[in-house]
Structure 1
Amino acid sequence: MSTTRLVLVCGQHRESTRMLSTRLMTGLPATAVVHHDLSRVADGVVRRRVRMGRADTTTTVELAHGCVSCTLREDLLPLVRALAADPRIERIVLHLDPVVEPEPVCWALENVLVGTAPVGDVTSVEAVITVVDPATWLEDATGDVPITELGAVDDDRTVAQVVVGQVEFADALVLTSAAEPWLAAQVDAVLDRLAPGAPKAWLGDVEPTALLAAIPANARRGEIDGAHGPLLRGEPPLEHDCGVALTVFRERRPFHPERLHDAIDVLLDGVVRTRGRVWVASQPDVALWLESAGGGLRVGHAGAWLAAVPETAWDRVPAERTVSAALEWDARFGDRLQELVILSHRADPEEIVEALTAALLTDEELAAESEWPGYADPFGSWHAEPCGESPAVDLGVPTVRKEES
């Protein structure tokens, strides 16, 4: 059975993303555009606009029990299913509000049931396209401005976390305006490493068919990476360029939890993005997921290390993970491993590695394994994120995380 193609459009500038959505609608046959405007969510108002050809309908959507995420889930997903059933429609453009990241939307499409099946049964993500203003994007991506300044309510993310997430998940990038030459070169170097392989086009010159055709065959197209998947997706360039660098930190010994906590600031200044798995000595069986964007940081539970579970349970994890673990299995620690990828633009990669290395256990501490459970652990208190805590982003992605500032 053929599926209806979905194109997600996101970015920080409402007018630019609207222009791109319109260009896609007019340039591609049988295309509808759906947009949930969250600019007045603080007043309890969400406006849903649906366009196709000359038809243009705007509806005020009731805020489902005060939760924007629930409203989007309960309105957007059934609407997409209904549009997918319309024989006149071959493609749906989901024009996302600036405070919405595409990854949780794609997760909801594949995992949240509408009736008896998810919307992903009748749709497929053709592309995620992110609109970027090179003149302002890098400042946004490396700052610590709360997303509430863009109108989000009860949301603890930063603007940096949103804009970096929007680019990192993109299959194609559309640029809105030119920046001065040095900044433009820096932004280009960051984008090439954050979204490797994503074709770029200027908003004024976008030709929809050509842009979609330029997306490489190995693009993610809505696919969500597992916490134990490869960290260098898409083979980004590893050489330094305009001060921009990708640093891979890999070590076999655990972090001391307090020293790691003290060292984390090195990841929040002059760094665009950090992603990866960490292992603290006080939690020997648990992999932690660490992710930073600008001055915002998330640390969350990434499940058990394979070494901490019976081999009989290994058949419930992806084969790629078990194969990778087997290739690098350590006689003492199994698959436990520090593995972080750091994308910096001003910070010194050597200083980052030096600070992280100093947070590892010393030889003496490594030998005293019986003492590890007694270490004070700033990462030991977890809470489940309620649906209303990050209303513009949490469309159902299950997560347990701790926030650091």
Structure 2
Amino acid sequence: MRAGGEGRGRGLLGVVSGNTPEARGRVLDLLRRASPDALVLSVSVHADAAGRYPFVQRFAVGGDERQRASLSQVATGDPAVIVRQDLGAIARAAPRTHVVLALPDNVDALPFLAELWRSPLGRTPLSDHYDLAPLAVGIDPGRLLSDLRCVHRSAHLFGDHPQAVPLTLAEAAARQVEAAHVMVLRDGGVEDDGRLDGSRALLAHLNPSALVLLDGEERDSTLLTPLTRPGSGWAAAGPADRLDVIAPALRRRGIERGVASVLWRSRRPLHPQRLAESLPQVMPAVVRSRGYLWVATHPDSVISWRSAGRHLELRQAGSWLEDEDTGSWRAASSERRTLASWHWDDRYGERRNEIVFIGAELDEDRVRAALDAAVLDDGELALGADRWADLPDPLLGTAIRDPGAEP
């Protein structure tokens, strides 16, 4: 079955993952029902003792003999490079094939796809061979709720580099949900104690743009049709656009089974010490939060904000766009360039704060008031960036001054 590339000579690439093997298998079953002729390429990745050169195993089912014969079974190296070679070989052996790539839970799907879709120098990009279908994720609700609370154990995920990156289980679980276009919430067969409905409400806030299906709803075949067509969620530039730290904030309005989202924005830089002091008022009921900050002590750096469970990570994640820096503007995603133009300030450019908080029984007024009190007041703002560098910063430390700058 091929529904979306007719006349253009391209195949279709669907991607499936899941937070348990059973949940992932359920989505694969649905895709094979919707597209019986699809070739399923299952991937497993295992690091060596040093964590540097992973073993990548692939197993193909479905399709035809030409497609399966084009694949080797085991290789060592960068998983994205190996899978890219596999997909290229399949496309050359049988153009316009529908391939379903099944990823294990130790692969961070969105960075992996961005690296997969990147065009290596001198090589034919995969976008010449395939259109991307929506990314489908199977979710076991019990495992999801357990992992989102787990910050004392780490998961080592492969993404855009050969080495596995350590993340908390909570962060890994949140990223998997946020990458999805379609989620199938699996019923484990236990008596319904409200966990399914509660999980569905949480998923709707973690990823407001995704379609969430309860196990059994997929019997309506029209709900499966999007999985066999090119995904409208992919920008023309590919998956990398969704990784930009400056992206539109997606917030689901309303409260569902106690779960709510709070969006906080400000066009003033944050005082880092007051931000640190605000955290006990802001974070207790938060399950997940994402965004970016303009911190006074690091005025040229975009500071990414990510929390999952009780773990909060602040990290320098690139630089703000500057008016004369044409190279940075060209390198930025189209969405970011559009957002920068909308929000541009003649003095401070695109600099701003934007965070979405998701949790149960969130006190929106308390969250907003605590963060509003953490931005610079008029007197502090008037001091300018040179004086902001002297502010105490218990979160990020003191920025390195330019040796040529005035003291």
**TM-score of the alignment, normalized to the shorter chain, above 0.5:** yes
- Residue 257 (structure 1) shift: 2.2
Q: 1:287 to 1:49 in 2, by over 3 A?
A: same
Farther-moved stretch of structure 1 (162-171 vs 290-299) = 290-299
Q: 1:22 to 1:84 in 2, by over 3 A?
A: farther
Q: Which of 283, 305, 310 is equivalent to 2:324? A: 310
Is the Cα contact below 8 Å between 2:12 and 2:96 reproduced in 1?
no
Whether 1:14 and 2:32 are equivalent positions in the alignment is no
Q: Which of 348, 353, 360 is equivalent to 1:338? A: 353
Q: Which of 94, 98, 104 is equivalent to 1:97? A: 104
Which residue number corresponds to residue 231 of structure 1? 249
Please give the alpha-carbon distance, in whole angstroms, between the structure 1 residues aligned to 2:282 and 2:103.
29
Which residue number corresponds to residue 371 of structure 1? 387
Provide the secondary structure at the position in 1 that maps to 2:296.
Answer: coil
Is the Cα contact below 8 Å between 1:12 and 1:98 reproduced in 2?
yes
Q: Which of 47, 63, 66 is equivalent to 2:57? A: 47
Which residue number corresponds to residue 63 of structure 1? 76
Please give the alpha-carbon distance, in whole angstroms, between the structure 2 residues aligned to 1:192 and 1:293.
16
TM-score, normalised via structure 2 length:
0.77
Deviations 1:167-203 (A, max 9, x none): 1121111121167454333222221222224333344
What letter corresponds to residue 12 of structure 1 in structure 2?
N
Q: Which runs of 5+ in 2 are unaligned?
A: 1-7, 400-407
Is the Cα contact below 8 Å between 2:288 and 2:359 reproduced in 1?
yes
Q: Which runs of 5+ in 1 are unaligned?
A: 65-69, 383-405
- Residue 34 (structure 1) shift: 1.3
Please give the alpha-carbon distance, in whole angstroms, between the structure 2 residues aligned to 1:238 and 1:15.
32
Please give the alpha-carbon distance, in whole angstroms, between the structure 2 residues aligned to 1:266 and 1:49.
50
Please give the alpha-carbon distance, in whole angstroms, between the structure 2 residues aligned to 1:344 and 1:375.
31
Please give the alpha-carbon distance, in whole angstroms, between the structure 2 residues aligned to 1:301 and 1:240.
32
What letter corresponds to residue 374 of structure 1 in structure 2?
D
Please give the alpha-carbon distance, in whole angstroms, between the structure 2 residues aligned to 1:38 and 1:172.
24
Q: 1:240 to 1:135 in 2, by over 3 A?
A: same
Is the Cα contact below 8 Å between 1:249 and 1:340 reproduced in 2?
yes
Is the Cα contact below 8 Å between 2:41 and 2:99 reproduced in 1?
yes
Deviations 1:316-339 (A, max 9, x none): 356654554454444543432111
Is the Cα contact below 8 Å between 2:31 and 2:224 reproduced in 1?
no
What letter corresponds to residue 166 of structure 2 in structure 1?
D
Q: Which of 134, 138, 142 is equivalent to 1:131? A: 138
Deviations 1:136-185 (A, max 9, x none): 31232243143348999964201222221111121111121167454333
Q: Which of 233, 254, 257 is equivalent to 1:219? A: 233
Is the Cα contact below 8 Å between 1:34 and 1:50 reproduced in 2?
yes
Q: Which of 88, 91, 98 is equivalent to 1:84? A: 91
Deviations 1:86-142 (A, max 9, x none): 327621111111121221122012214285232222112111001011233123224
Which residue number corresponds to residue 67 of structure 1? none
Q: Which of 77, 89, 111 is equivalent to 2:118? A: 111
What letter corresponds to residue 171 of structure 1 in structure 2?
H
Which residue number corresponds to residue 241 of structure 1? 256
What letter corresponds to residue 229 of structure 1 in structure 2?
A
Q: 1:9 to 1:325 in 2, by over 3 A?
A: closer
Deviations 1:291-339 (A, max 9, x none): 2222344433343334x44276686356654554454444543432111
Farther-moved stretch of structure 1 (32-41 vs 119-128) = 32-41
Farther-moved stretch of structure 1 (131-140 vs 52-61) = 52-61
Q: 1:243 to 1:336 in 2, by over 3 A?
A: same
Which residue number corresponds to residue 159 of structure 1? 169
User: RCO greater where, 1 or 2, for CA within 8 Å and sep 6 or more?
Assistant: 1
Please give the alpha-carbon distance, in whole angstroms, between the structure 2 residues aligned to 1:166 and 1:362.
38
Is the Cα contact below 8 Å between 1:35 and 1:95 reproduced in 2?
yes
- Residue 7 (structure 1) shift: 1.1
Is the Cα contact below 8 Å between 1:132 and 1:173 reproduced in 2?
yes
- Residue 13 (structure 1) shift: 0.8
Is the Cα contact below 8 Å between 2:23 and 2:140 reproduced in 1?
no
Which residue number corresponds to residue 256 of structure 1? 271
TM-score, normalised via structure 1 length:
0.78
Q: Which of 28, 34, 58 is equivalent to 2:35? A: 28
Aligned-residue identity in percent: 27
- Residue 249 (structure 1) shift: 0.7
Which residue number corresponds to residue 360 of structure 1? 375
